[in-house]
């Protein structure tokens, strides 16, 4: 077979065998060949500063030498066993030590699985069926999670709108949808529905911060109405702080989900909670009626666990999170100052460790307000950034600890070009 070297050839080949020409994750018009440190290269050899970082997992950058060493040490010992292994047990111990709500954890292979099982676990523990989620909240690809993630049609709350074909109406009937950052709406729904098992929330919803008192308010309402609180920390876990949003904000949920960083770039996720709640995974403790069946071929994979353990070890070192936040502030400031100088209305939305720009004058408080006045402006801005060597999602920017001063200088130049492009009359 002739070796394909150009990106266009790979794109054409993908179009033959992949629906819409891609994996469903990202722009199929770019094919990444390799990553190292803070950079990725496409199949044409074009180099980019990587602010996508695999959608979050590569907080240390690509090919971190200590993580690579840990993986290479594990590989000759075995790649997967479908059985308990020491690395997986060590990783569970490290998570329990780090995350306030976790007394026990159960491993899965993806964040979507973790969120699905978290909702099922809440139902098993409470004996109730309904789940309350927030409009625009992302919790994976399960039928429940695909309710009002990005609804094209605005309906009255708490009606759930499916974002995907193939989901029965019966699923929508078990979901209640509320606007993020609106405690009054949440309290009204909990007062009206006595069959709510849990509230599931991203402590930082996509990039929308919780308003002052909102997360504590959720905790208080869950206690008042005897409802479980689930924090989806797939993104925020080990990013906002070593102990995640729970450490950063000082609010402890009943159940949390974790992913991305805990696998060190390999497929691994987890859900955790108190031993009392997690006992529903133990048939000998709760019996057949209360037992939550869960298994997965790659759950607790030792290679992923080794990568995650080493990643977490590096993150525990002094100064890591201070540096990450400093990098984030620098990236926020350089964009905001350039946009201000050009007189372009915008909001910097998110946390220093994860954020982006909304081109609007409106405060971004929930799904309906966190939007661009003109989406074409955002598209142009991001297109010019990529053309100038900055690789990112159109809706998120992930700083990583691999970013260098030279990267920041190049990013600043790219931002200046992008601002100039959208400032043209």
The rounded Cα 223 to chain-centroid distance in angstroms is 26
Is 381 annotated as catalytic?
no
Structure tokens at 250: 């000082």
User: Out of 50, 115, 232, 356, which one is annotated catalytic?
Assistant: 232
- To the query of whether residue 138 is one of the catalytic residues in this protein, the response is yes
Catalytic site residue from 260, 321, 351, 398: 260
CA–CA dist 400, 174 (Å, integer): 38
Q: What tokens appear for 230 in the block?
A: 């689930």
Q: Nearest-CA neighbor of 129 among 169, 165, 176? A: 176
- Residue whose pair of structure tokens reads 């990643």 in the numeric block: 311
Opening angle at CA 120, ends 229 and 263, nearest 5: 80
Does 254 participate in catalysis according to the annotation? no
Catalytic residue among 117, 138, 321, 367: 138
Give the E-state strand segments of 288-417 in sequence order.
Answer: 347-351, 354-358, 390-391
Q: Which residues are catalytic?
A: 138, 232, 260
């Amino acid at each position: 077979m002739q070796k394909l070297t150009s990106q266009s050839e790979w794109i054409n080949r993908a179009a033959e065998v992949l629906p819409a020409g891609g994996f469903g994750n990202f722009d199929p018009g770019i094919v990444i060949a390799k990553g190292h440190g803070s950079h990725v290269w496409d199949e044409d050899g074009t180099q980019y500063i990587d602010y996508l970082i695999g959608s979050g997992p590569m907080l240390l950058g690509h090919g971190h030498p200590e993580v690579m060493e840990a993986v290479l040490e594990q590989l000759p010992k075995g790649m997967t066993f479908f059985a308990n292994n020491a690395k997986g047990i060590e990783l569970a111990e490290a998570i329990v030590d780090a995350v306030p709500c976790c007394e026990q954890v159960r491993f899965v292979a993806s964040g979507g699985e973790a969120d699905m099982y978290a909702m099922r676990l809440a139902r098993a523990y409470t004996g109730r069926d309904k789940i309350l989620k927030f409009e625009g909240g992302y919790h994976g690809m399960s039928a429940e999670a695909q309710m009002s993630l990005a609804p094209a049609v605005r309906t009255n709350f708490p009606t759930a709108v499916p974002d995907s074909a193939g989901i029965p109406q019966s699923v929508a009937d078990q979901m209640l949808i509320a606007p993020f950052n609106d405690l009054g709406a949440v309290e009204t729904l909990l007062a009206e529905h006595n069959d709510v098992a849990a509230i599931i929330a991203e402590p930082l919803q996509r990039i929308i911060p919780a308003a002052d008192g909102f997360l504590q308010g959720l905790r208080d309402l869950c206690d008042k109405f005897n409802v479980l609180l689930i924090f989806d920390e797939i993104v925020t876990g080990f990013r906002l702080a070593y102990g995640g949003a729970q450490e950063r904000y000082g609010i402890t949920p009943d159940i949390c989900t974790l992913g991305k960083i805990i696998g060190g770039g390999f497929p691994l996720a987890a859900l955790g909670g108190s031993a009392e709640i997690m006992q529903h995974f133990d048939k000998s403790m709760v019996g057949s009626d209360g037992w939550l069946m869960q298994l997965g071929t790659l759950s607790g994979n030792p290679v992923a666990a080794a990568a995650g353990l080493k990643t977490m070890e590096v993150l525990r070192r002094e100064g890591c999170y201070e540096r990450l936040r400093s990098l984030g502030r620098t990236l926020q400031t350089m964009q905001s100052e350039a946009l201000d100088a050009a007189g372009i209305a915008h909001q910097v939305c998110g946390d220093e460790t994860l954020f982006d720009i909304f081109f609007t004058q409106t405060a971004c408080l929930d799904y309906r307000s966190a939007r661009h006045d003109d989406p074409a402006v955002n598209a142009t801005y991001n297109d010019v950034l990529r053309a100038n060597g900055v690789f990112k999602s159109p809706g998120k920017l992930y700083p990583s600890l691999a970013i260098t001063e030279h990267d920041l200088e190049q990013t600043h130049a790219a931002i200046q070009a992008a601002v100039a492009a959208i400032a043209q009359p």
